[in-house]
Structure 1
């Protein structure tokens, strides 16, 4: 029998799981040293396990890309096959104990940005607390890369928010979609102007989130693509602050309908800008291949998809929610 057709024998200390676990950690973390820390092993031990795996399979599994180790083509294939097995075995004890304790046990960590926590999650959190009062729920107020780092390091079970670009190691399941809205004081010239055009916004100063945030970049992109000039009067973080300043007459703004409440109708005029700006989806983000706890699945189950129907205000400024 040739080596190519022979069944591999993983001889390194007589275990197939150890080399596969070491390989999956290196592929995920991009470093022998970081994998060794995660596995509580020495770096030479991890190196020997990777070498044993490559020797038995007869192909290189990792290659250096800059300062990181990344899987080869063969390594990518093995990673996709081995990761669910390794994670399932590693989480077997935890899953077993969770099933024994039942659904109303343990803790749940959820990452979300301020807007999501303030506008989207209150009803969901209320239902979850009512149904599962013994679960300790922690909401981590983080955005962007910070939230993704928590997901990748398993510091949180899931994240809820909006994503435009989804990395390969994460899974994003959108559940809601919100329209882009122009907000002005009720007596503003644009509040009731018929046939509102993007050019109509040019004479008025915009109040926008900071440039580093996605909302600002999307607004800038749309104006640039349509070759419409615009002016930013003020950059400030937080939808509540932006709405307050618009209500005071300090400028107009373009916000996502998620932040508009029934109370805002008393002090603001809101009109859909869906003709020019894309809607924003909000949903659940988890690490690809992660085994979710019963309480995480219960929380996700409360985030009911709304068929991605836009939610906001109609052209007359009345709430559609």
Structure 2
């Protein structure tokens, strides 16, 4: 008797292959059966049964407990990589079909971004998007740090725009713009025209910095300590516009990212590059890996291109020292 071809796996549990795959993907993404159950509007036993059925059909263990979280095995990672686009594509099929039928001039788009990004980077992009797609309801969620990542992971927003240093494994970050670190002082300050500016030159002057919980403060502290240069903080205050105002009043000096410096600032401030000591800051698009991007989201990301690099290069070439 001729050998029969191997029988294809069949998902006997409720006769639906997508249900256990959907349960598996949610559990892998959230690290918990209870969270996956909440996301799927199911009971925990129902999700557990679907996971057990999937492991029986695949003949391997897909998940293992690591502390309080469930983690993927090597086989689980392989299946997750294959199944996630299928599940998310199917779950987004209805919305994608409606958007394809109606075209781009309908629907909504939710974008997470911090204050600096909304204020300095996005205006031209938003203007171009509104001109091209006036009927799309665009919402900018003013959130930073973990708040923006939580919105991404819970599908509260389609994408985020901002700066990232450490990128979690479940997110994808595509940097587009890069801005240099800048020292800002009043125009008549002794450091404004000093040749060969060093970190030691900043030591006698009080710094105006964002709150300690923010990346800028921690980076400034790290660089000064690594170079064994003492420094003092004259004032902690949130918001680049407030910091620039207080610097212009002579209340201290500050270290900012060039994204916040405009042509109008040169009437009251002197800006000097500190790229010798501090790394430049990138800004770009953050999405959840494997997430289906709506036509609106794709159209928005296509507008986030190096059109603003001219301004970034302006400060990067040292012309702001004038």
Q: TM-score, length-normalised on structure 1?
A: 0.95
Provide the C-alpha distance between the structure 2 equivalents of 1:169 and 1:29, rounded to a whole number of angstroms. Answer: 10
- Which residue number in structure 2 is paired with residue 80 of structure 1? 81
Output aligned runs, 1:264-303, within 5 Å: 264-303=265-304
- Which residue number in structure 1 is paired with residue 320 of structure 2? 317
| Residues 112 and 160, structure 1, Cα contact 8 Å, conserved in 2 | yes
- Which residue number in structure 2 is paired with residue 101 of structure 1? 102
Provide the C-alpha distance between the structure 2 equivalents of 1:305 and 1:240, rounded to a whole number of angstroms. Answer: 24
Could you say if the C-alpha distance between residues 233 and 312 of structure 1 is closer, same or farther in structure 2, counting changes exceeding 3 Å? farther
Provide the C-alpha distance between the structure 1 equivalents of 2:97 and 2:294, rounded to a whole number of angstroms. Answer: 10
State the 1:37 CA deviation: 1.7
SS in 1 for 2:207: strand
SS in 2 for 1:311: helix
State the 1:235 CA deviation: 0.8
Deviation per residue, 1:14-60 (Å, 9 max, x gap): 12111111100111111112211211222211111100111111111
Deviation per residue, 1:122-180 (Å, 9 max, x gap): 11111111111100100000000000000000000000000001111111111100000
| Residues 184 and 269, structure 2, Cα contact 8 Å, conserved in 1 | yes
Provide the C-alpha distance between the structure 1 equivalents of 2:279 and 2:266, rounded to a whole number of angstroms. Answer: 23
State the 1:316 CA deviation: 5.4
- Which residue number in structure 2 is paired with residue 170 of structure 1? 171
- Which residue number in structure 1 is paired with residue 228 of structure 2? 227
| Residues 314 and 320, structure 2, Cα contact 8 Å, conserved in 1 | no
Provide the C-alpha distance between the structure 2 equivalents of 1:75 and 1:59, rounded to a whole number of angstroms. Answer: 8
Provide the C-alpha distance between the structure 2 equivalents of 1:222 and 1:136, rounded to a whole number of angstroms. Answer: 43
Gaps of 5+ in 2: none
State the 1:317 CA deviation: 2.9
- Which residue number in structure 2 is paired with residue 190 of structure 1? 191
- Which residue number in structure 1 is paired with residue 112 of structure 2? 111
Larger displacement relative to structure 2 (174-183 or 13-22): 13-22
State the 1:265 CA deviation: 0.2
SS in 2 for 1:245: helix
Could you say if the C-alpha distance between residues 282 and 109 of structure 1 is closer, same or farther in structure 2, counting changes exceeding 3 Å? same
- Residue correspondences, number: 317
- Which residue number in structure 2 is paired with residue 56 of structure 1? 57
Output aligned runs, 1:254-265, within 5 Å: 254-265=255-266
Deviation per residue, 1:289-317 (Å, 9 max, x gap): 11111111111111113697853535453
Runs of 4+ in 1 over 2 A off after TM superposition: 5-9, 305-319
- Which residue number in structure 2 is paired with residue 242 of structure 1? 243
State the 1:250 CA deviation: 0.5
CA RMSD of aligned residues (A): 1.8
- Which residue number in structure 2 is paired with residue 159 of structure 1? 160
The answer to whether residue 35 in structure 2 is matched with residue 34 in structure 1 is yes
| Residues 176 and 306, structure 1, Cα contact 8 Å, conserved in 2 | no
Provide the C-alpha distance between the structure 1 equivalents of 2:176 and 2:109, rounded to a whole number of angstroms. Answer: 20
SS in 1 for 2:306: coil
| Residues 179 and 312, structure 1, Cα contact 8 Å, conserved in 2 | no
| Residues 175 and 307, structure 1, Cα contact 8 Å, conserved in 2 | no
Provide the C-alpha distance between the structure 1 equivalents of 2:12 and 2:99, rounded to a whole number of angstroms. Answer: 34
| Residues 181 and 312, structure 1, Cα contact 8 Å, conserved in 2 | no
The answer to whether residue 218 in structure 2 is matched with residue 204 in structure 1 is no
- Which residue number in structure 2 is paired with residue 122 of structure 1? 123
Could you say if the C-alpha distance between residues 232 and 71 of structure 1 is closer, same or farther in structure 2, counting changes exceeding 3 Å? same
